[in-house]
Amino acid sequence: MNNTRELPHRPLGNTGLSMSILGFGGVQVGDYFVRMTEETARAAISQAWNEGIRYFDTSPKYGTGLSEHRIGAGLRGYSRDDFVLSTKVGRRLEPAPELDRDPEHRGLPYRLVTDFGYDATMRVIEGSLNRLGLSRIDIAYMHDLEPGTFGDEYPGIFRQAVDGCYRALDELRGQGVIRGIGGGMNAAEASVSLMRAVDLDCLMFAGRYTLLEQQTLDDVMALALEKNVGIVIGAPFNTGVLATGVVPDARYNNKPLKPELRARVHRIEKICARHDVALPAAAMQFPLAHPATVSVVCGIANADEATRNRDLIMRSIPGDFWAQMREEGLIRPDAPTPAGQAFGAFPG
């Protein structure tokens, strides 16, 4: 008996790839926040597949290779043509045997070394292929290429990425080892700089086009449409508050809530209650209404979360909810909304 459900898919630019509108974020299976058993990781990946998720994202950074190992193992029984897989470049792994003896270390015994050079990128992709147990990667994202990560070193690292990393990825794209080149970003200005500097297929954009943040309609999202760059939304809950609502330990972009933001989320929660809408469902569906968006990626820590996320993204939300959000100034007047359709019927 086949218990697999389906999710809508959307095409990714000119890559020929088709991505499920909900993606599996591989941070948690890399023990990035808490330790996870192999059984729990395998069950999360298996249930995600059963829920129709066919896009899986990972990175050497997540558990210093552990996430790639687990996702590769979890997908091994499925046809390679039936899923889209992305990983990231810009950090190479160096053996660190001393970490084997460190009880506080989570992940595999390696240290991360920043390197966006040509040769390093070739080695990073080869290492990822080996950890994943695959012969090709669909999308390679240049990871965290922005001032918030590198400070004063950012201009030099950006130039290295454009001259070295991108050149390597472009060659690999031509060879069919990868099919798409992307940026994995948090900052709007750096995202625009990268889209203008190189020929990107997609951009994983985390926490900057959400129910709480729409400033990027004018720059990142508009430029993505102009250049046919597919947007993959990461961190749709702004690292917590749009999943939990206002609770004592609610977080916004990994920081405690400020009073004005707490009041704003309270207002959204009241509108959700009035229309019987789950806050996280609205948070997941809102960015998908933008025509540049291809998929929304959520971290999944166990099988139950895979089912919950699938149900939230497919839940019908009435048009009156979005209308009231707009009327009360909680989303921008020009922000596209799902118009009261479930995503099973949403075009794309």
Dist. CA 100–CA 36, nearest whole Å: 17
Question: Which entry of 62, 141, 209, 252 is annotated as an active-site residue?
Answer: 62
Dist. CA 209–CA 290, nearest whole Å: 10
List the one residue out of 101, 98, 105, 102 whose CA is nearest residue 64.
Answer: 105
Q: Among all chains, which residue has been given the structure tokens 């990946």?
A: 45
Quote the longest CA-to-CA distance of the chain.
58
Output b/e per residue, 218-250; b: 16+ Cβ within 10 A: eebbebbeeeebbbbbbbbbbbbbbbebbeeeb
Dist. CA 234–CA 62, nearest whole Å: 15
Note if 62 is an active site residue.
Answer: yes
Q: Which two tokens stand for residue 125?
A: 């992709």
Active site amino acids: 62
